[in-house]
A and B are shown apart, each in its own frame.
Chain A
């Protein structure tokens, strides 16, 4: 039996149901999803993201462009989730718009703590590389319990962030999310670990898609899932580093 088939993932974009839906529409098409295809598309999407990030990074007056990027990115993400067949268009748009947002965010952090953005970039790609190696070697396996654990932890973080968002309207919030206290740092460290473990679920999703011969457009969809996790991981690392820096 395929070990991926009863898959659970924390990433709302990456679920086994997605494959089932895509498979019904792809019968008879010759081109199928491959791991190589996902790697190439992820490389392209990251390149687009880095180029657009350099625009808002180099010019702080372009904060309006970052806001536009946030809205366009949100629309592109929703479109990708509900209509994966157009992912070849929406995912590059998502990568470019999120690049604009990340460039502006990184700039703000960098002005406060010089060198923090480069550190966060290296740590994000370092985490990606080490987890990919761990997954390929079989050191970390996406077992049912592992998936369930990561899913529950990600859900809990999501709920916590949502409560914090609602509370912010009343001028308050959950202290531990923003605090630089040892508890705040520990919380951020935990969130970084959960975000990193989501990468393992993404690898598993990609492997499953290639194994069952999902349609070609699912390569873009898998790229989208990987991009969402990487962006989340980068922002959380940036937040953790800023907390550590603020204690100096």
Chain B
């Protein structure tokens, strides 16, 4: 195996970690399908 190929390893890992981070960040911002709200009296 070419040892130069190993130099791509940190680049690929960093890219994957960034993509996962972006994906997880957006996950929290998604609007929920159902929203349950408490209804107060006389509302």
**Is A139 in contact with chain B by the CB < 8 A criterion?**
yes
Contact among A123, A134, A245 with B8 in the assembled complex (CB-CB below 8 Å) = A123
Count of chain A to chain B residue pairs whose CB atoms are closer than 8 Å in the complex: 44
Q: Is the interface of B mostly helix, strand, loop or mixed?
A: helix
Which residue in chain B gives the minimum CB-CB distance to A128? Answer: B11
- The smallest beta-carbon distance between A16 and chain B, in angstroms, is 26
- A75 CB-CB contact with B under 8 Å: no
Task: Scan A123-138; emit 1 where CB is below 8 A from any B CB, else 0.
Answer: 1001101110110111
Please, which residues of chain B bring their CB within 8 A of the CB of A245? 4
Q: Is the CB–CB distance between B18 and A137 below 8 Å?
A: yes
Bits for B1-28, please: 1 = Cβ < 8 Å to A, else 0. 0011001100110110111011001000
> Digit string of A108-122 for contact with B (CB within 8 Å is 1, else 0)?
000000000001000
Q: Which residues in A have their C-beta under 8 angstroms from that of B18?
A: 130, 133-134, 136-137, 139
B4 touches A241 (CB 8 A): yes
Q: A133 and B19: CB pair below 8 A?
A: yes
CA distance A129 to B8 in the complex (A): 12
Contact A244 B4 (CB under 8 A): yes
| Minimum Cβ distance to chain A for residue B5 (Å) | 10
Cα-based distance from A240 to B8 in the complex (angstroms): 13
With beta carbons under 8 angstroms apart, the residue of B4, B11, B22 that contacts A126 is: B11
- On whether the beta carbons of A137 and B11 are closer than 8 Å, the reply is no
Shortest B36–chain A CB gap in Å is 31
A92 to B2, CA, bound (A): 37
**B6 CB to nearest A CB, Å:** 9
- Determine if B14 and A130 form an interchain contact, defined as CB atoms under 8 angstroms apart: yes
A126 to B15, CA, bound (A): 9
Can you give 5 contacting A-B residue pairs, CB < 8 Å?
Answer: A119-B4, A126-B11, A137-B21, A138-B21, A244-B4
A residues near B (Cβ < 8 Å) are 119, 123, 126-127, 129-131, 133-134, 136-139, 237, 240-241, 244-245
List 7 other contacts, CB 8 Å, given A136-B18, A136-B22: A123-B11, A126-B11, A130-B11, A130-B12, A133-B15, A237-B7, A244-B3
